[in-house]
Structure 1
Amino acid sequence: MKTKTKWLPLIVTPLCITLYGCNSSSSDHKSQPDVEAATPGNLNLCHELAEQFNYSETKIVSAELLPEGSNTVQSPTPAHCVVTGAMNERVSLIDNQTYKIGFEMRLPVDWNGRFYYQANGGFDGVVKQAIGQFLSVEDESQSALNKGFAVISSDAGHPSPAPTFGLDPQARLDYGYNAVATLTPMAKSLIEKAYGKQPDHSYFAGCSNGGRHTMVASARFADMYDGFLVGNPGFNLPKSAISQIYGIQQYATLVDVDPENVLGSLQSGFTQQEYALVSEKVLQQCDALDGASDGMVNDLAGCQEAFDLYRDVPSCVTERDGTCLTNAQKDVLNNIMSGPHNSITNEAIYSNFPYDAGMGTSDYYGWEFFMAMMFDSGSVSYVFSTPPTPFDGSTDMGKLEYINSFNIDTDVGRIYAIDENFTESSVDFMTPPNATDLSTLRDRGAKMMVVHGSSDSVFSPADTINWYEGLQDANGRNADEFARLYLVPGMNHCGNGPSTDRFEMLDKLVDWVEQGMQPQSIEASVRPDNAELPSNWSPTRTRPLCPYPQVATYNGTGNIEDAASFSCVAPK
């Protein structure tokens, strides 16, 4: 059955009146009494930490002082101490592999008194440099380390290659939430040893799976952190992984798959050029909804009503040539954008996806095909299924055979299942226990800022919007007092796309937590090195990112490349 992808209902008038005002400015205002700001400190120990720091089940491998300007990352860093170590080393009784929670901490000599947990993406499995970078496209000179934070990064309790760690029950739990619970008190204790005091304020941030880590922490560990910075969160990761393999199943119906070129033959069924055609037609229907024909869709909800795949994209009457879609292609895309459903009960398994202007990019296309094949077959089979369902993933054909064997109607139950070895289901250990119950966070004065690219093809922004609407409902429509959501038009997964994907949120979060300054609109700019930018955009384009559900709307006058020419207003 052909169905048009619908958008969730919006409660417009009360939000406009009670939450933000219909024309809020970009200047922040105080929403609560002053909170004590963090006080700086100086590093007292570095090399000595390897011998003098003692913490249960923790081994410090090295502690090295790096001078200012060290090129350990792309951007020169301040003078800091790099500490590497591991916790809870053990040999699994299930797969006989050695597991431990590896970590790196970077402690600036001139410390701002704050702690930053850098939540990483993907399968984890690697201890990334602990510089406190939020988005993959972020200016490293603006990293948390460069701002003076003490930063920790970890592998979440397992080594690469992933996803075979899913055979071990404890490794699953460490990946889901327990590594954070284990590392946090250790890190604060190490900070106290190095500086003579614990951090005054602690922050948690990450994008993608790192965004999932952050949302899980906001529900499970709000007593340990004061601020949460969330990017493109995969907080329903087991469900979204099934959505990704459902997409591959759909694409496979369009072609005869070549066993020698599985990915290439799948991509021949729906090319990037054809995705770009869809983006072009979305823009034709939606670009001007915000008052400006500028290659951006700010009114994402309105766009879902304005655009119709079957009506607005030409149907092929002869051969495919990139200017049309076949009826079969439209059905496949409609199914994917509607999200997977149980064919018997029509129950949604995961969220729908919005049509947007960033669907024609290489990032969007890569997540649809290559990343879905590479990541999601293994994550569903090894990590999210109970019991694990191993398969031969050494070839693309092996991955595809597993994907096609997954029955959307019956096998989804594996992500909810438990047994005598795996006593927590993947839905339990991977997702927030109750994503809309942030009462601990709220009641202790902690804050959360969430950002999501509206052209994310792996973790749907509609899922995040639905979560935020539920959070509002659970808090008398006053959740904005402690949590704010910002959509980035055209942005793909954690950056890229035809978008203004450079913006500063960490400073805004700190000001909110420590000074009570509520964030309003946030100015974002393009990255001139972004290969996905249209040629007719100014390399200095700026836009306001508006607190949801407000929409950046052109004032009718002024430079269309300047954020000052736009205001955040309630959706129509």
Structure 2
Amino acid sequence: MQPLILKSTMLALIGAGVLIGTPMLAEDRPGGKCAALRDAVFDAGHVTSARVISAAGDLPAYCEVRAIALPAISIEVRLPITGWNGRFYQVGCGGFCGNLGGRSGFVNAMGPGLQKGYATATTDSGHHGLTSVDADWADGNVNAERDWGWRSIGETNRVAQAMIQAFYGKPSDQAVFQGCSTGGRMANMAALRYPKMFQGIISGAPALNETGLAGPGLAWQVKANTGPDGKQILKADKVDLIGAEVMRQCDGVDGAEDKLIADPRQCSVDLSKITCNAGSEVKACITPKEREVVEKWRKSPVDSSGKTLFVGGIPEGSEPFWRTWLTGNETGAPGLNPLFAQSFGSYMAYPEDPGPAYNATEFDFDKDPARMEAAAEMYNADDPDISAFRAAGGKMIVWHGWADAIVSPYTTVAWHKAAEKTAGGAEALAKNVRLYMIPGLDHCGIAPGAGGISQANLDPLGALESWMQKGEAPQSLMAHN
């Protein structure tokens, strides 16, 4: 009977499509082609892992590749197992970056690209950080500063394209970059330093002038809100009172009372109506000192001669987000803006890092801007001349929320005006670059604002795809559900 069992077993195997005596190659097995990328070789770096991630939720199955571009840029590439659309989607990172994970939604996240069949990639920008406000990795480390400033953009692209070629046997047809905040700065930097690398760019709430923002910009806010005793003047308990008065005075200026301020430049708020008089119950009003803080926050920082150092200012309508960025909350969580100011000044701003002893209140508005020239060369992406990107035929969407309380929307508007002038006029620039300002939107749409508007309501990638593929510049970035 043994020969009969063997014969039936052989027939079953043949029926299953397995040829006896012809061993399967590793790359032909499920996941084998992905695992083979562990041995992929490229210059100045190496692959650290490659594995198949099963489909889950709205994400398809993909090959996850982790790699290092020397000296220390960590990169993750995601390659759809099936259904690759032939294109590449690279994303930036937020704050001081420092990790590959934890990015949900649209902003700086690979998911939206992967859902549409793109091969995708991201980076930690060249260092490990415990949080996005942690910059001690830059202490005396100019290589890491350079990688965060610009080099990680090109290196991530280089490694990702090597993995795409090895996995699919051909390069991508088209490349898109998407980022917000620091990722938005990276997006503009890509247009400046790598003008032919990406055919489409999405730049959200871009921290274009990093040294201006994190230097005098944030130091101005910290100084304004620090009393002679070193304590915080304006705290979270007055934020709602201020926000309500701002909305009362500004909501209808645009012709619609919808709890949204269409353009804060159209409204000048007088806080005298909620300023305490002698004998007033302080909880129901703001003190003259607190009012002074708000009035300073509305302005751009200046030096002792009155010269504007950075086009900034906290816009009216951003008050719902002040607990996150400016004042901290009632339970003791600090505002993020002061933390960024402290960390940047301690480790990233100057040729000689002052270290943790530095305090943002020490910023010298007359002397310190000039001390950041080397940092500005590495970090800043506010050059309005993107003619090389435009000449290459690239399309660029820039978007910013009018209620952004960390990266001032006024900075982006000023850059766009300068870019129009450099391009030879608004019409010339609009052929390749469009700016979309969104009322009521928090920084990068992180927290929902009035009416619940957040990044979930936006579809910049769909808008860009339509522009690139159909030649139709989008009228709006709002998602169509």
2:35 to 28, 47, 56: 47
Q: Deviations over 1:381-438 (max 9, x none)?
A: 211212222234xxxxxx6xx223222222222212xxxxxxxx11111012x62111
Matches of 1:367 and 1:347 in 2, distance apart? Answer: 30
Matches of 1:312 and 1:232 in 2, distance apart? Answer: 33
Secondary structure (helix, strand or coil) at the match of 1:56 reads coil
Matches of 2:270 and 2:165 in 1, distance apart? Answer: 57
Q: 1:426 aligned to 2:375?
A: yes
Q: Deviations over 1:208-251 (max 9, x none)?
A: 11111111111111210011111111111121112212211221
Matches of 2:314 and 2:265 in 1, distance apart? Answer: 8
Contact 2:69 2:159 in 1 (8 A): no
Matches of 1:522 and 1:246 in 2, distance apart? Answer: 33
Using a 3 Å threshold, how does the CA distance of structure 1 residues 320 and 209 change in structure 2: closer, same or farther?
A: farther
Q: Could you tell me which residue of structure 2 aligns to residue 477 of structure 1?
A: 426
Q: Could you tell me which residue of structure 2 aligns to residue 389 of structure 1?
A: 354
Matches of 2:392 and 2:406 in 1, distance apart? Answer: 33
1:248 to 212, 222, 238: 222
1:444 to 343, 367, 392: 392
Matches of 1:250 and 1:44 in 2, distance apart? Answer: 59
Q: Deviations over 1:325-373 (max 9, x none)?
A: 2222222221222021102x21112223253223133334457952133
2:120 to 144, 151, 166: 151
Matches of 1:329 and 1:114 in 2, distance apart? Answer: 52
What does 1:122-521 correspond to in 2, within 5 Å?
Answer: 122-128=95-101, 133-135=105-107, 143-161=112-130, 162-166=134-138, 167-242=140-215, 243-253=217-227, 256-257=229-230, 265-266=231-232, 269-303=233-267, 307-311=268-272, 313-319=274-280, 321-343=282-304, 345-361=305-321, 362-365=323-326, 370-392=335-357, 402-416=359-373, 425-432=374-381, 435-475=383-423, 476-478=425-427, 479-495=429-445, 496=447, 497-498=449-450, 500-501=453-454, 502-521=457-476
Secondary structure (helix, strand or coil) at the match of 1:83 reads strand
Q: Which has the higher contact order (CA 8 A, sep 6+)?
A: 1
Matches of 1:486 and 1:159 in 2, distance apart? Answer: 33
Matches of 2:399 and 2:387 in 1, distance apart? Answer: 21
Q: Deviations over 1:29-67 (max 9, x none)?
A: xxxxxxxxxxxxxx993111111x211022111110122
TM-score by length of 2: 0.84
Q: Could you tell me which residue of structure 2 aligns to residue 9 of structure 1?
A: none
Q: Which is higher, the Rg of structure 1 or of structure 2?
A: 2
Q: Could you tell me which residue of structure 2 aligns to residue 532 of structure 1?
A: none
Using a 3 Å threshold, how does the CA distance of structure 1 residues 319 and 364 change in structure 2: closer, same or farther?
A: farther
Distance apart, 1:524 and its partner CA: 5.4
Secondary structure (helix, strand or coil) at the match of 1:77 reads coil
Distance apart, 1:469 and its partner CA: 0.9
2:53 to 57, 66, 74: 66
Secondary structure (helix, strand or coil) at the match of 2:356 reads coil
Secondary structure (helix, strand or coil) at the match of 1:111 reads coil
Distance apart, 1:157 and its partner CA: 1.2
Secondary structure (helix, strand or coil) at the match of 1:82 reads strand
Secondary structure (helix, strand or coil) at the match of 1:507 reads helix
How many residues are paired up?
Answer: 434
Matches of 1:333 and 1:354 in 2, distance apart? Answer: 9
1:86 to 62, 65, 68: 68
Structure 1 spans left out of the alignment, 5+ residues: 1-42, 70-74, 90-99, 258-264, 393-398, 417-424, 526-541, 543-572
Q: Could you tell me which residue of structure 2 aligns to residue 260 of structure 1?
A: none
Using a 3 Å threshold, how does the CA distance of structure 1 residues 461 and 50 change in structure 2: closer, same or farther?
A: same
- Point out the structure with the larger helix share: 2
Matches of 1:177 and 1:364 in 2, distance apart? Answer: 25
Distance apart, 1:310 and its partner CA: 4.5
Q: Deviations over 1:48-87 (max 9, x none)?
A: 1111x21102211111012222xxxxx5420100001101
Matches of 1:235 and 1:301 in 2, distance apart? Answer: 20
Contact 1:132 1:145 in 2 (8 A): no
Deviating beyond 6 angstroms after TM superposition, the runs of 4 or more aligned structure 1 residues are: none
Contact 2:318 2:405 in 1 (8 A): no
Matches of 1:132 and 1:439 in 2, distance apart? Answer: 33
Using a 3 Å threshold, how does the CA distance of structure 1 residues 44 and 118 change in structure 2: closer, same or farther?
A: farther
Distance apart, 1:379 and its partner CA: 1.2
Matches of 1:318 and 1:215 in 2, distance apart? Answer: 52
Matches of 1:467 and 1:186 in 2, distance apart? Answer: 31
Using a 3 Å threshold, how does the CA distance of structure 1 residues 354 and 155 change in structure 2: closer, same or farther?
A: closer
Using a 3 Å threshold, how does the CA distance of structure 1 residues 273 and 295 change in structure 2: closer, same or farther?
A: farther
Q: Which amino acid aligns with 1:324?
A: C
Q: Deviations over 1:110-147 (max 9, x none)?
A: 21111111100111121226x885328x9x9x611111
Matches of 1:367 and 1:240 in 2, distance apart? Answer: 19
| Range 377-386 or range 322-331, more displaced | 322-331
Secondary structure (helix, strand or coil) at the match of 2:378 reads helix
Q: Which amino acid aligns with 1:377?
A: Q
Matches of 1:114 and 1:221 in 2, distance apart? Answer: 18
| Range 236-245 or range 456-465, more displaced | 236-245
Matches of 1:469 and 1:456 in 2, distance apart? Answer: 19
Matches of 2:328 and 2:124 in 1, distance apart? Answer: 23
Using a 3 Å threshold, how does the CA distance of structure 1 residues 316 and 222 change in structure 2: closer, same or farther?
A: farther
Quote the RMSD (CA, aligned, Å).
2.5
Q: Deviations over 1:457-506 (max 9, x none)?
A: 11100000011111111122221111111122122211223252221110
Contact 1:125 1:159 in 2 (8 A): yes
Using a 3 Å threshold, how does the CA distance of structure 1 residues 311 and 474 change in structure 2: closer, same or farther?
A: farther
Q: Which amino acid aligns with 2:308?
A: A
Contact 1:339 1:351 in 2 (8 A): yes
Matches of 2:79 and 2:34 in 1, distance apart? Answer: 9
Q: Which amino acid aligns with 1:298?
A: A
Distance apart, 1:514 and its partner CA: 2.3
Secondary structure (helix, strand or coil) at the match of 1:285 reads helix
Matches of 1:511 and 1:123 in 2, distance apart? Answer: 32
Contact 1:116 1:132 in 2 (8 A): no
Using a 3 Å threshold, how does the CA distance of structure 1 residues 299 and 382 change in structure 2: closer, same or farther?
A: closer
